[in-house]
Amino acid sequence: MGQSYRQLIAWQKSIDFVMDVYQVTKAFPRDELYGLATQLRRAAVAVPTNIADGQARFSPNEFFYFLGRARGALVEVETQLLIAQNLNYFSAEQGQQLLDRAAEVGKILNGLIASIRPAA
């Protein structure tokens, strides 16, 4: 727990993912400015935010809890990306790239969660 959250690969990859989400939502229809685009951005931002918040805590149990919240936010993003793709807000190729990035973040996050899972 001595390292900074900025050194965590899960945090670094999720920050990159946030940038991708912001980039793709710039092209959303204007009427989605305060709708799906905002929801997607907030959920994406919640992933690295919860990783950082949890890492700053003093107990592995708290870190575990916040990593669970990050994982929940990530599946929100995945769901919202699928909705946006179904609405044709971006190409199938863009959607697949984003979902692949989300899956990568998810795998890294799951590894981190497994490494600090509290004893039952």
Give the pLDDT of residue 1.
47
pTM reported for the whole predicted model: 0.94
Listed in sequence order, the DSSP H helices in the chain are 9-25, 36-55, 60-86, 92-116
| Separation CA 76–CA 45 (nearest Å) | 11
Q: Each residue of 79-95: pLDDT tens digit?
A: 999 999 999 999 999 99
Averaged pLDDT for residues 9-25: 97
The structural domains of the chain, with segments of one domain joined by +, span 5-116
Considering only residues 108 and 32, tell me which one the structure prediction assigns the higher pLDDT: 108
CATH level 2 (architecture), domain 5-116 = Up-down Bundle (1.20)
Torsion of CA 95, 114, 69, 97, to 10 degrees: -10
Considering only residues 92 and 118, tell me which one the structure prediction assigns the higher pLDDT: 92
